[in-house]
Homo-oligomer: A and B are copies of this chain.
Amino acid sequence: MTKWVYGFGDGAAEGDAKMKALLGGKGANLAEMSSLGLPVPPGFTITTGVCTHFYANDRRYPDDLKAEVEAALKRVEAGTGMAFGDPANPLLVSVRSGAPVSMPGMMDTVLNLGLNDETVQGLAQNSGDPRFAFDSYRRFVQMYGDVVMGVDHYAFEERLDDLKAEAGVRYDTDLGADALRRLVEDYKAIVEREAGEPFPLDPMAQLWGAIGAVFGSWQTPRAVTYRRLHHISAEMGTAVTVQAMVFGNMGDDCATGVAFTRNPSTGEKAYYGEFLVNAQGEDVVAGIRTPQPLSRTMASGGEFEGMSMEDVLPDSYAGLVRVFDRLEGHYKDMQDIEFTIQSSKLYVLQTRSGKRTAPAALKIAVDMAEAGLITREEAILRVDPASLDQLLHPTLDPDAEVQVIAKGLPASPGAVSGKVVFLADDAERLGNQGEAVILVRIETSPDDIHGMHAAKGILTSRGGMTSHAAVVARGMGKAAVCGVGEISISYKEKSFTVRGLTVNEGDEITLDGAAGTVMLGRVPTVDPKLSGDFETLMGWADKVRRLGVRTNAETPLDANAALRFGAEGIGLCRTEHMFFQEERIVAMQEMILADDAEGRKRALAKLEPYQADDFAELFEIMKGLPVTIRLLDPPLHEFLPHDPEGEEAVAEAAGVDVKTVRRRVAALRETNPMLGLRGCRLGILFPEIVEMQARAIFKGALQVKAKGGDTVKPEIMVPLIATAKELEIHKALIDAVAEELGAGSKLDYSVGTMIELPRAALQAGRIAEHADFFSYGTNDMTQMGLGLSRDDAGRFLDAYLQAGIFERDPFQSIDLEGVGELVAIATERGRQTRPDIKLGICGEHGGDPASIDFCEKVGLDYVSCSPYRVPIARLAAAQAALRKE
């Protein structure tokens, strides 16, 4: 015979935490706590099986349910010493839904069930507080009327407002017992008028009504939609938990509170929380009374007012401490606990893992592992890798007053203040003068790199999390807020307006790149402290992870930062970033303006020594670690100016007619530059560029070797390969240069490609014939695979996330079904051709924990990310390895 009802209470329970599928999350947890011997108000759970039966049998209950519920209720009566519907000593209960997974759209809670015109008298008498009794009653009528009988809650609130107006009072709490008694009558009349039937006064009728409402809510359109969106099976069903009410507001030996077993801000091992005497939960919310600190230590800290619970209710406090230790010991994690003390008796209403700051998470995990409460592996899994971001950048002083003037995407973390400038040149000029500036642009381009370097932070009105501004800022470790659509920038006026406010050049603003907020004026910040806990946990993580972690870097600054953060090599060195400095850009432009290969070669010859020196410097810093160098990738027009003055300057520098410059700029213009003449296509058309870059790489490496430095292993990466043939041609060019320089015998170099086009993923088997390695360029693969420009998608990505079309921004976290399958296909086919092919990822996703988890599953060799995300990647890689085991 199927058992439909599971009781709990008095240190025992018929279920436990593992029975979520049958009892729902709430029911299973209450059973678990009860079994632990914790003081949980007694109750019982009607299983999800009843829900399934209900819908399979035309909304009828199993025959034996009624008897089981009545028997369970009897046990609750016995446990509490009260009786359901007894006018003298009434048992009141709460009725809650509880599906195996949390689900909006379901009926939530009915409290104080069991009250009627008679039992309310018993409650008044027993509590000695008629106001409390009638307040409880009117809340019950409203809640039941609303969620069980479908009466709009506005009807009740309107009447309450009227009553307060009549009585000339402001707060609900100013209404006395008599007023509330009248309100109950009015509420009952409202229910009868709106629902077409009287409010039920029989407690058993109330109970079955509430149970039926829970089961009925399983199929409301909102719940159905939610399940469909989240791929939750309707078969799962919901459970119903009925539990005895307890009250923290029945006198001065009553209290209610919330506590943490450790400090959630710092992670310190010290009980932490707040309580209120003679109060219930919503009194805290109402903000009328200030809660008091839990412990004497807290009270003595000066942060909190009032006496501690340790002093006021020492016995209850001692009981609470026992509960804390029991729960933390049992769940092996810091707990967030809700409790109520009714007439000096402690009840635990809920426990769950407590939310905590990143430093706290680190400290708690390390402390617990070192205390032997959890393993090091468990400690690794306890810290959210993304939260480490908070630790690595300055943050706003939490005590500072701020005036947020706009909100955008949290594109690159860090809190910075500075004077607003609108031109990269101005940013550079002022930055060189030691001014802190914030570069404000509609969007940025490689032309702005020098200004971005000089600025403290970047603010753009257009572009998403992976727009040029966001990517470059993260790479540089600079704060950025992007895609702030509500600000309107005028380069002409050198000002921006937002919400009627005008901010001019030179005005100070502050950006919080982690929150995506823009504030007026200078807001003080606090510097990050990397605790010993950080190093400890990272050390443990490094021991368990399988994936290598490299960085995307091309400047000595970035390379050094990444090494400090634990990078094991460079996974992406974007050579084009090296072409933007003064003397180089001129030679680059000369190359672009040249009419033939000879002219290009002359210009490239000027660039070569710069590149060779750049590489030598980078190789020296990286001390023998692998360095993956991507050949020139962006379309050439990114190196030319697009304004008349710029064109004239270029013409003068290159010694050509300005018309020639203009003609070339026009000829290079592209409708869709992302799909244009870039990547390896440049090398096919202009092999001399490939040759120059290969020569510079080999010369740089030989230079370091000659000086006795660690032997670097250059990995030359050809971008935007669509066909095996393109790579074959490039490899031949590179190998010929190596031969020419005798680098083949002196250096251990390899040639590989980015797999970033869908076609390349499909053709990986043939491409691997010419590739020593693949690096998945998942940024571009997302753009091509989804037909989504990262510069333009900001305009509709939000709507897509809201509609549930994308679960996450595909530029932040790999789209597993599309891009993920392409990566998986390429990995399989690449390895089939060349089992030892080295596989990595160098898109923005390389620093995203969910994407790193995917990289571990699919078996890549390493991930590469911006320097400031290296620690995140190390931890995420360790977690991925542990989860895979």
Contact = CB atoms under 8 A, between A and B. Distances in A.
A208 interface: no
Given A722-B787, A787-B722, A729 B759 contact: no
Contacts of A720: 787
A791 B670 CA distance: 8
Contacts of A722: 786-788, 818
Interface string A802-817: 0111100000000101
Given A677-B796, A684-B800, A792-B671, A759 B786 contact: yes
A819 interface: yes
A674 B672 contact: yes
B673 A762 contact: no
A818 B766 CA distance: 12
A781 B844 CA distance: 24
B805 A763 contact: no
A789 interface: yes
A723 B685 CA distance: 37
Interface in A345-377: none
Size category of the A interface is 35 or more
A249 interface: no
A671 B786 contact: no
A681 interface: yes
A642 to B, nearest CB: 13
Contact of A792 (B672, B792, B805, B815): B672
B725 A803 contact: yes
Q: How many copies does the complex hold?
A: 2
A677 B792 contact: yes
A380 B783 CA distance: 44
Contacts of A788: 675, 722
Contact of A729 (B673, B757, B803): B803
Nearest to A804: B725
B675 A787 contact: yes
Given A671-B673, A673-B672, A685-B799, A785 B805 contact: no
Interface string A744-759: 0000000000001111
Most-contacted residue by chain B among A726, A757, A759, A822 (CB, 10 A):
A759
A758 B671 contact: no
B796 A681 contact: yes
Contacts of A803: 684, 725, 729
A311 interface: no
Contact of A762 (B670, B800, B804, B817): B817
A784 interface: yes
B789 A671 contact: yes
Contacts of A759: 785-787, 815, 817-819
Contacts of A674: 671-672, 674-675, 787, 789
Nearest to A791: B671
A647 interface: no
B789 A675 contact: yes
Interface of A: 443, 670-677, 679, 681, 684-685, 720, 722-723, 725-726, 729, 756-759, 762-763, 780, 783-789, 791-793, 795-796, 799-800, 803-806, 815, 817-819, 821-822
Given A672-B789, A757-B785, 5 more contacts: A684-B805, A723-B805, A759-B785, A759-B786, A784-B787
